[in-house]
Amino acid sequence: MVKKLEQNMGADAMRAATGRDHAGWRAVLQEAGAQQWSHSRIAAYLVEEHVVDGWWAQGITVDYEQAHQGRLPGQQTDGTFSVGLTRTVPGERLEALARVEATVSAVHGEPHGRNMGASQPVVRWRLPDGGRLAAAAQAPNKTGTPVNLTMQRLPDAAAVEPTRRALEELLEAARSGEGPVATPGR
């Protein structure tokens, strides 16, 4: 299940990076009248008026929207949902990503794009139902390379958990070398 941002972004880390915790930023934004603001306006306000780093401004904005504007965990600003999962896959960065690409391609067809020169190499698929799937390889560690699979443009919250399970199956198949798995129930 996708958790609220507050459960994934610790109050101590937020306070250390921004000077305030979740409750503190929510109070600041309420006082500023952000209840009626768009996502981009809230984030810009945090960056411009409070000199918050852009990454933290996005997190604070999502936390505020979840607490005061009815945004659900996993919900994007356009109303669709996304879910992501990261697992360590054996091999160096491009080798691990190639394993995931082969597994995903066996289920979803050839990708529509690759950027292997990015700081996090990525492969992307456009799905027939309008969904978007991306695999991104992080920096390798002692046991392999963490690879993140993210599915975007899910139609509703009910699609999140079955899609998360399908992503987990894809990553497990890539890790074990077992090959393709069933198509996610979208």
Domains and CATH numbers, the chain: 5-68 (no CATH), 81-176 (3.30.310.50)
Give the pLDDT score at 182: 42
Give the pLDDT score at 70: 86
- pTM of the full predicted structure? 0.69
Give the pLDDT score at 9: 65
pLDDT tens by residue, 21-66: 999 999 999 999 999 999 999 999 999 999 999 888 988 998 898 8
Question: Which of 71, 86, 85, 87 has the alpha carbon at shortest distance from 157?
Answer: 71
* H-state helical runs in the chain: 5-8, 11-18, 22-32, 39-50, 54-68, 93-108, 160-176
- The overall average pLDDT reported for the chain is 89
Give the pLDDT score at 72: 82
Residue with tokens 């000199």: 51
